[in-house]
Structure 1
Amino acid sequence: MIIPCAGAAAQDEDPESSTQQSPRTLDRVTVTGSLIPQAQIETFTPVTVITAEDIQSRGFAAISDVLQQSAFSTGGVQGSQSSASFTQGAETISLFGLPPGYVKYLIDGRPMASYPALYNGSDTFNNISGIPIDLVERIEILPGGQSSLYGSDAIAGVINVILKKEMQGSALNIRGGTFTEGGGNSFRASFSTGFQSADGRTNALLGVQYEERDPIWAYDRDLTRQFFTQGSSPPLASRDYLVLSPFTSYKFLDPANCANVSGQFGGTVGLQRRPGFGDEYYCGSFYTPGYRTLRNGKEATQIYGNLTFEINEGMQLYANVLHSDEKVDYHVGSNFTWWGSNTESMGYYYYDPNLDDYLSLQRAFAPEEMGPGGFRNTMQHDDSKSTRVAVGLNGVFGDSAWDYDVGYTRTDYKLEEVAFVRFAEPMDNYFRERVLGPQLGLDPTYGFYPVYSPDYAAFYQPISPQDFASLTGYATTESKTVDQMLRFQVTNTQLFELPGGDAGLAVVAEVGNQEWRYDPDPGYLDGTIWGTTAVSGGGERDRYALTTELRMPVLEPLTVTLSGRYDAFKPEGGGTIDKPTYSLGLEYRPFEELLIRGKYGTAFRSPTLSDLYQGESGFFIAVTDYYACSLLGFEPGNTDACPAALSNRQVFGTQEGNLDLQPINADVWSVGVVWSPVPRMSINVDYHNWDIADEVTQQSTDALMLQEYRCRTGLDDINSQLCTTTLSQVTRNPATDQITEIYTPKINVSRQTLEAVSAGINYAMDVGIGALTFRGNYTQKIDHQYQQYAEDPYIDLLNNPFWSTDPKQKADASITWATDHWASTVYANWFSETPNYRSEVLAHYDDPLARKLPSHLIYNASVSFSPIEPLQFSLLVNNVFNKMPPMDWSYPGTTGAPYNENNFNVYGRALYLEARYLFGRN
């Protein structure tokens, strides 16, 4: 069941039964979005509740599926399809298109620890893949700024995952699945059992979940197994063996015309041609894009336990632990598994006196060179282990109305990334000895580049698996986060009497410590590992917070809620970073069926530990030198024919933390209505508004290249602050004027504003042969503006496709029919039009190929049958009609993934069979 934009169900109540009662007659319960137990299930803050029954009936396979398909999740995010990203093994979401780190994640009301690796190599975020989906009681999504209650990060909203606390008897669940297009076979099993002592004072629950799944490879899907055949340009084979000049482009120097390497990549390598590129010929394959994973393989085990013990009538001891051990496997693909001579250690280029030209060599490594198993032998493994322990005591102070809760929570999150790497010295030496030969001095023009007389026939040769193994291996990066907190709360729901009822007060004090360490293999930083670099850094800080909330029913129809919080962070090696936040919430009920609500408050995000302590970290990235391409007549948006040395330039980038960063600040407000025209129906509409300032930003590398082009060509004032900053971030080789390095620092400069509307409807009715339930949620972004630097004009993120390809609208809906033995659900997930590739590159739609792709709609369906009460069988079909991304013909033939990987996937239809058995219940 979903209660969209309504108050969360009780944390100790059955939410299904709660909706059948009048809000005025409920016992007081705790809801997400308030610290004070209260009688209303709908308050001034909208909350969406997704129950365990919803998760199961809609076929969701993971918590990330649940949240990414939420109507609030309108922003695209990097994931397992984002090859060679810094966190390809993790899963997250973006609420309303805001950064993933702007979401506060809670487990049972307490903050989750951050993922040790950094999103996009820069930002702290939460990985939601390690939560056992079979042990979840429900998920509560609270949109909007909530820092006055929950502190840092709660700008976009709060997501509270509530795990099961007690049960009668035991439950066994077995689920297996596959994709009709191939790959991704999965198996999941879980067991949970509950125990209660004879006197009722002790309750315990123990659960374990095990899951394994196979990866999906790009060659498993028609759209991704080869270069795009239906694009805006003919497909072009990968340059698996290429000799390249920065001045005269391609040189084809293979006397065998690729015959010696034709057996590679499954026998698909051959003589290929790119008209207009020097000699035009090279050795390559049309099928190399297939050699990467689109969905990670996974093996995971989670163990969960919860215990409560009533010491006496007014005092209870509680403890719980959640341990997750997860290993994901993936491959970044052929495009990132290669060797080239244009590196610093080899002088970037070499001079060949026989050809009187400056050249470089590059070649891909084929699966046949990796031995039996091919690319499966060279996968990357991310092994994460997290343990979360919470212990505490709650109760009542004597006969008073004051409750207390004192608890300690600690989470240790450790990540080990085992990456397949190429070792620089043996690899460079291998090609020097077999191909380049001895160095003959320095070039005659610049006196900088080494001179070689290579054996080109030796270059166009396969490498034996034994030689390949001697040049490659694995490197291990270890990282961790630690988050611990001591929390004390006192609450009084009968502080004093007002005309509308009793006022309530909650006061919370917190003290804690946070730590982040990221220790890459030294080879990433000292150049021992070829062609790859890494983030590094580490630090810790103490933190303190004091929170108060006062709820006042000043009149029978009007309730006012005030909250305020003070947060202070004390980083090692820095001063105190502090921030007060507050909020005012109003609930007005002119009559029982109608609630008018509103909230205004402030929110913030403290500089993260990585923002503060990230060391000077490097990364390699391919960029388009738009300025150099424009000098050859290839303007932005039309760079397909620009020489690869310019249009696909491999450069080194750097970034680092800044101890002088200040918090990101936000003013957030909302207003809405909830209307229940008939029993068992509710309709809600809420307007949300954000004004976010002082954002920490790291500039997009492609945006940096475009901006440099604009400055150097005079489209923007080269003396402006924007151009001065841009040009200082781009380093060019003084001899060739080619880009060698870019710098993307972290600073508090950016700002964005956002307006959105969310709506929902719930309706349940009896139809004679069962019950029918309908739930629907809808989100529309009205306006989203972004300003990177203070003097820059605002960028319209809803209408500028270069800066954002997120949909403006998103919706989900379900209809469920249930009887005593049968249940069936149809679930739909929809989002509106999105920009195509051409418009994204051009940043506008004023081009024949630039347009919007049609909206996207997928359906899930499930049928469950219970032949006897404790046994249930289910058939679940996700993406019933095997819907693929809308065809985008504006992609060129040089891509192997002609769709936006942040918005779509090509997994296709999934089938699951599930059996559940409940036993031992009274």
Structure 2
Amino acid sequence: MSGDIRRRSATGNARTFLSAKGIFMHRKLLASAICASLVLPLWANAAKAQSQDGSSSSQDTTQTDQSSSQANEKNATKLKSIQVTGSLLPRSQIETATPTIQITAEDITKQGFTTVADALQALPQATGSVQGAQFSGGFTQGAQTISLLGLDPGFTLFLIDGKPMADYPLLYNGSGNFVDISTIPMAMVDHIDIVPGNQSAIYGSSAIAGVVNIILKQHVQGVTMNLRGGGFSEGGGGSQRFQLTGGHDWEKAKLTYSLELRNQRPIYRYQRRWFDSNNDRPGLAAGQSRPALDYLLVDLFYDQIGTDQFFVPGGKASCDRVAGGSDNTTVYATDAAGRGNFCGSPNSPAYSTIMNGAKAGTGYLNFSYDISPNAQFYANGLLNVSKTDYYVGTNYTWWGSGQDYGVIYGANVDNGSADDGPGSFIQTQYTIDSSANGIGNAANETDLNRSYVANVGFRGTFGDSDWAYDAYYHRSDNVITTRQLHLVADKVDNYFLGDQIGYDPVFDYYPVFNLNLDRFYSLMTPEVYNSLSEQIRTRSHTYTQEVTGTVTNTNLFDLPGGSAGLAVLMQYGNQKWENPTDPRLINGYFWGLTGTQGEGTRDRYAAATELSLPVTTWLTASASARYDTYKAAGRTDSKATFKMGLEWRPVDTLLVRGTYATAFRAPDMAGLFQGESGFYTNVVDYYRCRVEDGDQFDVDTCPYNNEQVQGSQAGNKNLKNITAKSLTGGIVWSPSSNFNIHADYYRVNISNEVSQRSINGILSLEADCRLGHTIGGSPVDINSPRCVEALALIDRNNDPANPLQSGINSVSTYPINISQEKVTGATAGAQYHWDAGRFGDFNFSADYNVTLDHTYQQYPGDPTLDLLSYRTFPREFKHRESATINWTKGPVSTTLYGLRNGPTMNYKETGTVGPWITYNASIQLQVNDEVKVSLISNNLLNKRPPRDSTYTAYPFYDGFNYNGYGRSIFAELEWKLF
């Protein structure tokens, strides 16, 4: 298979997700292939205002010098300092020109989150929808990420201790590189810094939406064990976690270590009562049932007049033979649109996972040795091994004759019509039952992941001077092995159809088979499934590595406001992406399955500098610049970026700040090196629509407006850099140590954004070329270069004598630098600490993000789309806010956290959906100096995802923005062993 494989999908319950930026692609064939034309058409916690008991609330900040010694221990301080996220220079000010959000490990626990990914996805700034475990049949169902500021996940740079993480080896939406954050262990996380906006002048490529820097614990004394376990009140999802963290100091050396083991059970859709069947569909009358089209025959020429009709040879008796399907809920059913009968269960779509099953182990070591008072050697490594299991469900585990043969003539299939003779022109749809009565979990997919991050280096000062250095080698490596058992096309076709016995007696065109009705109306067993399938296994690999040297001086020369600072960085690195494919996928060996492939390496060089100038006691200016060079595919591309910042403090309690920066993203590895890769999607066949209904056809009523086709895409080695500019401005007011309020405005403009050439655009142009004119009547030459190119990208069953039979087999596309995007917004937050004396301590925080404007233009001359209101699905949040209340008295600490996801437009744009408000809660008891126990709940009130009455496709909610997990409850024990 490809390092990533994609399959077709079934039962007419799934829907293609169209966004203004293109199409959400499936790796698997959706089982609506024959039915598509038949069915009716708070800013999370920013830095901490520490209370006396150690509890904390969010506050806007940057990471300060974490030296354990005081400033007068000059050399030791330099050795132990950690750079501020978003800067090459250590900073003494808590607030700087760059707004920074910070979440501590304690926050993540107290606010009810179980993983780093959970906490980051709840950020008010993470306003965009993302694909993940709930996107069945997608390309990266085993991974998690975020969309910062509503921008592409690939526009956010993820770091561990300021150093880049390797890309996930599989491709987001089948076309782009991104970073998976699902495997980051909680055991060693100290805190996480999030810096929105352009940061390329410090970090280079990809830092357009911002930077997420995960800071690990650098120094631990003693040994602490942590046990955590729990599950979900609706069932499924039970998990256990073991952590052991410790450290030891010697005279010149320090060692910190950690081990984390995790076990996570999956959640299946049938375990959630609000979408455990098709009967949860909005608008369904009480007592009404809506079975899925599980065992379906469609006569395409019923009554010999071209009418489509569902029918069941043998009637109810045939359906009784599969009545055990979906745990004994399959029935003889009548189509709600009056098209006939079929066998199906309303429960069959629910046999898929929305939370992956996983087992993982992570180890961490951090070692340092003081060579001299001015020099230190350090090395650290983080190793993760995980196994993830998930099931895409019956929508994607099925068989149909249309995949390999299109329409067939069933010589032995009688539709029961008195006006028709023996034999029928049919298409078939057979759902492979995944309940315990069918194949069970035989079709589950498994991802085996092994990743590591390693660093080795030297840091210190040049003698007793103010010049400090840090030189290191860094490597981040990610390997994923995917494994699944999948149907072989020839085997499964022969199982149901046997050998072809000629061509139809009417047109002498369609292949004739004797459909095995006994097998069609029987549940497939695991043994049969295994005999018709073969194992697909592939290993995909990415790495990034670099050698970096940094020199800093925070006391370069004196200015009226203090000492100027200078930093200089030099860097060389390279990266690799390897996503091989099983050649059997390319030649159609497996039924309804496609995938991605590609391989390439790239070298990069960079130089950067930063200058901090405290011009006066109330005004500080900063400037940074970076020059990056990339060499790949026989080309060399370079890009210079810069950033300027101002901090104005008219009084001690007020900071007015602003930045202006440029950024870029080098073409990602897939964009350059992706080989011919496949996907499945739904399109409008403009040519057949215009042939049947004329140039002014109504796309909503055209029978070819939702054709499922196989697509292919490949890289483009002529891609250029994506460029961006950003502006931020804001204020921070802190009249006392107990109160802080902040507000910031941001704007990001992106140019030369990469988009796949529009498939709908290709098909629309093809129609103009074949018909010789546009919809408006302008002539089009079919021999023109643009027509020749468009026609070469489309493969049809071309029948000039009967254009309506000229269905699309496949469409090809490729990436180009073409699009423009702009997002503006504002964030605000406040933190307050109240010492209530004998009643305890209270901490309050509230954080808010509003996206003021988000526009996108895919092609020059296209209308500029407002992504906040344009008819796209899934939607983006305009408003997102969070709030936290913490109360601590003596050994007891309680926290209530709320997250409000603002309203979004409903599917048909006739109203809004939401808001969706959820609450998390925790209570902690410090039993003694060594033992602490906690009880933690996520989604305390068990709120279901908001219901969209206009969205009638299963599972009836937007799984890209909301989760259907429900309430979780966990107990945790922390024991300091020594």
TM-score (norm 2): 0.86
| Counterpart in the other structure of 1:86 | 139
Give the direction of change, closer, same or farther, for the CA distance of 1:552–1:787 in structure 2 (3 Å limit).
same
Q: Is the 8 A contact 2:64 2:93 kept in 1?
A: no
Give the direction of change, closer, same or farther, for the CA distance of 1:262–1:583 in structure 2 (3 Å limit).
same
SS in 2 for 1:41: coil
Question: Of the candidates 951, 955, 975, which is equivalent to residue 897 of structure 1?
Answer: 955
Matches within 5 A, 1:449-848: 449-454=510-515, 456=517, 459-571=520-632, 573-623=633-683, 646=704, 649-698=707-756, 731-735=795-799, 736-768=805-837, 769-802=839-872, 805-839=875-909
Give the C-alpha shift of residue 254 in structure 1.
1.5
- What letter is aligned with 1:358? F
Q: Is the 8 A contact 1:74 1:94 kept in 2?
A: yes
Give the C-alpha shift of residue 701 in structure 1.
6.3
SS in 2 for 1:343: helix
| Counterpart in the other structure of 1:311 | 371
Question: Of the candidates 439, 442, 447, which is equivalent to residue 501 of structure 2?
Answer: 439
Separation (CA, whole Å) in 1 of partners of 2:624 and 2:228: 45
Matches within 5 A, 1:80-159: 80-159=133-212
Q: Is the 8 A contact 1:626 1:635 kept in 2?
A: no
| Counterpart in the other structure of 1:45 | 98
Separation (CA, whole Å) in 2 of partners of 1:68 and 1:271: 43
- Cα deviation, 1:166-198, whole Å, max 9, x if unaligned, reads 11111110000110011100101100111001x
SS in 2 for 1:610: helix
- Cα deviation, 1:722-768, whole Å, max 9, x if unaligned, reads 99798876554333133322233211001111111011112222111
| Counterpart in the other structure of 1:217 | 268
Give the C-alpha shift of residue 389 in structure 1.
0.9
Q: Is the 8 A contact 1:115 1:127 kept in 2?
A: yes
SS in 1 for 2:927: strand
- Cα deviation, 1:764-804, whole Å, max 9, x if unaligned, reads 22111322112221110001110000111100111113266
Q: Is the 8 A contact 2:754 2:817 kept in 1?
A: yes
Separation (CA, whole Å) in 1 of partners of 2:689 and 2:299: 15
Give the direction of change, closer, same or farther, for the CA distance of 1:471–1:11 in structure 2 (3 Å limit).
farther
| Counterpart in the other structure of 1:851 | 911
Question: Of the candidates 84, 89, 108, which is equivalent to residue 31 of structure 1?
Answer: 84
- Cα deviation, 1:681-726, whole Å, max 9, x if unaligned, reads 1111111011101001126768988999999997788879999798
SS in 2 for 1:336: coil
SS in 1 for 2:604: strand
Give the C-alpha shift of residue 454 in structure 1.
3.9
| Counterpart in the other structure of 1:363 | 430
SS in 1 for 2:966: coil
- What letter is aligned with 1:367? S
Give the C-alpha shift of residue 856 in structure 1.
1.1
| Counterpart in the other structure of 2:466 | 401
- Cα deviation, 1:807-851, whole Å, max 9, x if unaligned, reads 101011111112331111010111110122222xxxxxxxxxx21
Q: Kindly indicate whether residue 298 of structure 2 is the aligned counterpart of residue 244 of structure 1.
A: yes
| Counterpart in the other structure of 1:293 | 353
| Counterpart in the other structure of 1:262 | 323
Separation (CA, whole Å) in 2 of partners of 1:323 and 1:636: 56
Separation (CA, whole Å) in 1 of partners of 2:546 and 2:779: 50
Separation (CA, whole Å) in 2 of partners of 1:538 and 1:882: 45
Separation (CA, whole Å) in 2 of partners of 1:438 and 1:218: 39
Separation (CA, whole Å) in 1 of partners of 2:62 and 2:521: 65
- Cα deviation, 1:301-320, whole Å, max 9, x if unaligned, reads 11011011101100001100
- Cα deviation, 1:241-265, whole Å, max 9, x if unaligned, reads 2222455323424113422222222
Q: For structure 1, which segment, 235-244 or 82-91, has the greater mean C-alpha deviation from structure 2 after superposition?
A: 235-244
Q: For structure 1, which segment, 223-232 or 663-672, has the greater mean C-alpha deviation from structure 2 after superposition?
A: 223-232
Q: For structure 1, which segment, 588-597 or 757-766, has the greater mean C-alpha deviation from structure 2 after superposition?
A: 757-766
Separation (CA, whole Å) in 1 of partners of 2:330 and 2:697: 32
Q: Is the 8 A contact 2:207 2:663 kept in 1?
A: yes
Structure 1: gaps (5+ residues): 19-26, 840-849
SS in 1 for 2:227: strand
Give the direction of change, closer, same or farther, for the CA distance of 1:281–1:689 in structure 2 (3 Å limit).
same
Give the C-alpha shift of residue 854 in structure 1.
2.4
- What letter is aligned with 2:667? P
Q: Is the 8 A contact 1:351 1:443 kept in 2?
A: no
SS in 1 for 2:442: helix
Separation (CA, whole Å) in 2 of partners of 1:821 and 1:794: 57
Q: Is the 8 A contact 1:370 1:377 kept in 2?
A: no
Q: Is the 8 A contact 2:59 2:740 kept in 1?
A: no
- What letter is aligned with 2:821? Q
Matches within 5 A, 1:147-226: 147-197=200-250, 199=251, 201-226=252-277
SS in 1 for 2:672: helix
Question: Of the candidates 478, 481, 487, which is equivalent to residue 416 of structure 1?
Answer: 481
| Counterpart in the other structure of 1:844 | none
Give the direction of change, closer, same or farther, for the CA distance of 1:221–1:213 in structure 2 (3 Å limit).
same
Give the direction of change, closer, same or farther, for the CA distance of 1:64–1:715 in structure 2 (3 Å limit).
farther
User: Identity rate of aligned residues, in percent?
Assistant: 38
Q: Kindly indicate whether residue 917 of structure 2 is the aligned counterpart of residue 863 of structure 1.
A: no
Where relative contact order (Cα < 8 A, 6+ residues apart) is larger, the structure is 2
Q: Is the 8 A contact 1:568 1:579 kept in 2?
A: yes
Give the C-alpha shift of residue 12 in structure 1.
1.4
Q: Is the 8 A contact 2:757 2:816 kept in 1?
A: no
Give the C-alpha shift of residue 478 in structure 1.
1.2
Separation (CA, whole Å) in 1 of partners of 2:638 and 2:565: 27
RMSD: 2.9
Give the direction of change, closer, same or farther, for the CA distance of 1:542–1:458 in structure 2 (3 Å limit).
closer
Separation (CA, whole Å) in 1 of partners of 2:871 and 2:790: 21
Separation (CA, whole Å) in 1 of partners of 2:399 and 2:589: 14
Give the direction of change, closer, same or farther, for the CA distance of 1:154–1:719 in structure 2 (3 Å limit).
farther
Q: Is the 8 A contact 2:407 2:426 kept in 1?
A: no
- Cα deviation, 1:533-573, whole Å, max 9, x if unaligned, reads 000010001111111101111122111111110111111x3
Q: Is the 8 A contact 2:448 2:480 kept in 1?
A: yes
Separation (CA, whole Å) in 2 of partners of 1:209 and 1:824: 26
Q: Kindly indicate whether residue 46 of structure 2 is the aligned counterpart of residue 2 of structure 1.
A: yes
Separation (CA, whole Å) in 1 of partners of 2:313 and 2:423: 18
Give the direction of change, closer, same or farther, for the CA distance of 1:520–1:29 in structure 2 (3 Å limit).
closer
- What letter is aligned with 1:609? M
Separation (CA, whole Å) in 2 of partners of 1:803 and 1:462: 35
Q: Is the 8 A contact 1:619 1:652 kept in 2?
A: yes
SS in 2 for 1:367: coil
Give the direction of change, closer, same or farther, for the CA distance of 1:348–1:125 in structure 2 (3 Å limit).
farther
Separation (CA, whole Å) in 2 of partners of 1:541 and 1:439: 54
Separation (CA, whole Å) in 2 of partners of 1:771 and 1:703: 61
